[in-house]
């Protein structure tokens, strides 16, 4: 099931594209849909924890041991900007994708 990819012949695909396992949304990277990009400014971050619960995908990794967030995982960030909006400390700045 999880080994289905763009080279899988039709005979080995599930009907209707059904997915018979769970927890595989991480296999579907949607970061290339992004036109705006959040930039993490770690020196402003107070680790208040407001940003990661509002991320609709899996773009803000949080360390299990320290419970501290790290830099964005852009594989899953569609650039919606919700995290930047909720940040009280200007630790997330939205930029145009491709801008340095």
Partner 1 sequence: MSIRERLSGNEAVATAMKQINPDVVAAFPITPSTEIPQYFSTFVANGAVDTEFVAVESEHSAMSACIGAEAAGARAMTATSANGLSLMWEMIYIASSLRLPIVMSLVNRAVSGPLNIHNDHSDAMGVRDSGWIMLFSENNQEAYDNTLMAHRIAEHKDVQLPLMVCQDGFITSHSIENIELEDDEFVKNFVGTYRPEHYLLNDKEPIAVGPLDLQAYLFEHKAQQADAMRNAKQVILDVSQEFEKLTGRKYGLFEEYKLDDAEIAIVCMNSTAGTTKFVVDSLRAKGIKAGLLKVRVFRPFPGEEITKALSHIKAIAVLDKADSLNGIGGALFEDVTSSMFVQNIHVPTVNYVYGIGGRDTTADQIESVYADLAEIAQTKNVGNPYRYLGLRKGDVK
x/- letters, 17..46, toward partner 1 (CB under 8 A) = xxxxxx------------------------
b/e sequence 8-44, b meaning 16+ C-beta within 10 Å = eeeeeeeeeeeeeeeeeeeeeeebeebeebbebeeee
- Rounded least distance, CB 19 to partner 1, Å: 4
Among 2, 13, 68, 85, binds partner 1 (CB under 8 A): 13
Among 15, 35, 63, 65, binds partner 1 (CB under 8 A): 15
Phi, psi of 94 (to 5 degrees): -85, 135
Q: How many residues line the site for partner 1 (CB under 8 A)?
A: 12
Beta bridge partners of 96: 36
Token pair for 54: 């509002």
Residues of this chain that interact with partner 1 (CB under 8 A) are 6, 9-10, 13, 15-22
């Amino acid at each position: 099931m999880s080994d289905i990819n763009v080279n899988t012949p039709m005979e080995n695909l599930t009907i209707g594209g059904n997915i018979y396992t769970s927890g595989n949304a991480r296999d579907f990277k949607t970061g290339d849909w992004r036109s705006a990009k959040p930039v993490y400014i770690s020196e402003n971050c107070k680790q208040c924890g407001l940003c990661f619960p509002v991320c609709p995908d899996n773009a803000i990794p949080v360390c299990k041991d320290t419970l501290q967030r790290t830099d964005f995982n852009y594989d899953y960030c569609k650039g919606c900007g919700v995290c930047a909006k909720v940040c009280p400390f200007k630790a997330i700045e939205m930029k145009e994708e491709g801008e340095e």
